[in-house]
Amino acid sequence: MSWLVTGGAGYIGSHVVRCLDEAGLAPVIVDSMSSGIRSFAPAHVPFYEASVLDREELVRIMDAHSITGVIHLAGYKYAGESVKFPLLTFEQNVTGTARLLEAMQQAGVNNMVFSSSAAVYGTPSVALVTEQTATEPESPYGQSKLIGEWLIRDQGIAAGLKHTSLRYFNVVGSGSEELYDASPHNLFPLVFAALNSGATPKIFGTDYDTTDGTCVRDYVHVADLALAHVEAAKKLEAGQELEPVYNLGSGDGVSVREIMDAVARVTGNQFQPLLEPRRPGDPARIVADGQLAARDLGWAMRHSLGQMVDSAYRASQALTPAKEA
């Protein structure tokens, strides 16, 4: 049993690869290296620098390794930036997913786990988002993830693909010090990049309709998230039916101000964040009901917020200048 991991040299993908490896579902990585980091891929795991847009190369790789399933994480992940770059976002996330599905059909690979996002919900009007909550994405990124889900669902109907899509909420933390989130646009990496360089972290928006005026999100630890992928892969491999979509969130809302307080506590740095205007496109609050995933995928929050902050901080400090370049 060998599973292909697209985007396996990325932040989340590298954690998934390690969990698959430990579970005996021999991972093989395909990554275009647009944002991947080569050292994130374990030396013994087969690695191909290739794009999911390259159908023929994907078929060759799937045949060469007798791949039985795909965890598809490759993509362009910035909701805010996607408003500026809709064509890039759709090419990578929609055309990329379509090419991958074509390759899977050609190679006879019949199992798929897809990285979707809470961004498919837009700004929900409910306190806890369930899988039944209306999908009203507000960015090309959210739209592209929803279309990805539809392509996969339709390929299930047309070609018998077994599949599930995991809608991640805010993924943070680090499962080991050499793996970190290098995103230039997300809260945790920006806060630690600022602190590590002597700058002051920023809060975008303090006038939202939330308890302290800052945005509320549902933060999950990347190592917990990775385990849910392995559970999904194992179930699909064993021929068990899964729901078409699962939320991977904790049910707990945490404000940006509360994150800053936790960072100050963990690092011992009593900084006063800079208060900036709102960042365009940010919903005030989005928090998940994760009960469906708990029922079917053993989904559980094994890490506390303090551990999320602490592990992210340690990983950010372990960065060498070479890795930062």
Ligand X SMILES: O=c1ccn([C@@H]2O[C@H](COP(=O)(O)OP(=O)(O)O[C@H]3O[C@H](CO)[C@H](O)[C@H](O)[C@H]3O)[C@@H](O)[C@H]2O)c(=O)[nH]1
Ligand Y SMILES: NC(=O)c1ccc[n+]([C@@H]2O[C@H](COP(=O)([O-])OP(=O)(O)OC[C@H]3O[C@@H](n4cnc5c(N)ncnc54)[C@H](O)[C@@H]3O)[C@@H](O)[C@H]2O)c1
Is 170 near ligand X (CB under 6 A)?
A: yes
18, 25, 27, 36: which one binds ligand Y (CB under 6 A) = 36
Alpha helix stretches (DSSP H) within the chain: 11-23, 55-64, 79-84, 86-90, 96-107, 140-159, 187-196, 222-237, 256-267, 291-297, 305-317, 321-324
CA-based angle 48:27:69, to the nearest 5? 100
State which of positions 167-206 bind ligand Y (CB under 6 A): 168, 170-171
- By beta-carbon proximity to ligand X, the closer residue of 8 and 189 is 189
DSSP state of 120: G
Q: Binds 217, which of ligand X, ligand Y, none (CB < 5 to 8 A, cut-off by type)?
A: ligand X
Q: Binds 279, which of ligand X, ligand Y, none (CB < 5 to 8 A, cut-off by type)?
A: ligand X
- By beta-carbon proximity to ligand X, the closer residue of 41 and 288 is 288
Q: Binds 7, which of ligand Y, ligand X, none (CB < 5 to 8 A, cut-off by type)?
A: ligand Y
DSSP state of 145: H
DSSP state of 121: G
75, 173, 201, 290: which one binds ligand Y (CB under 6 A) = 75
- By beta-carbon proximity to ligand X, the closer residue of 69 and 122 is 122
Residues 6+ apart with CB under 8 A from 177: 314, 315, 318
CB of residue 43 to ligand X, shortest distance in Å: 29
Alpha-carbon gap, residue 146 to 141, rounded angstroms: 9
CA 136 to chain centre: 19
State which of positions 180-209 bind ligand X (CB under 6 A): 185-187, 190, 202-204
Pairing of strands 2-6, 67-72: parallel
**Known catalytic membership, residue 121:** no
**Termini Cα distance of the chain:** 37
Is 77 near ligand X (CB under 6 A)?
A: yes
CB of residue 279 to ligand X, shortest distance in Å: 4
Instruction: Please give the size of the binding site for ligand Y, defined by CB under 6 A.
Output: 28
Q: Which of 48, 76, 78, 141 is catalytic?
A: 141
In 169-243 the beta strands, taken as DSSP E runs, fall at 170-172, 202-204, 216-217, 219-221
Which secondary structure element, helix H or strand E, spans residue 310, and what is its range? Answer: helix 305-317
Alpha-carbon gap, residue 218 to 2, rounded angstroms: 32
- By beta-carbon proximity to ligand X, the closer residue of 47 and 78 is 78
State which of positions 288-317 bind ligand X (CB under 6 A): none
Alpha-carbon gap, residue 112 to 72, rounded angstroms: 7
Residue numbers at the binding site for ligand X (CB under 6 A): 77, 79, 117-119, 168-170, 185-187, 190, 202-204, 215, 217, 256, 279, 282, 286
Which amino acids are annotated catalytic?
Answer: 141
Residue numbers at the binding site for ligand Y (CB under 6 A): 6-7, 9-13, 30-36, 51-53, 73-75, 77, 92, 96, 115, 117, 168, 170-171
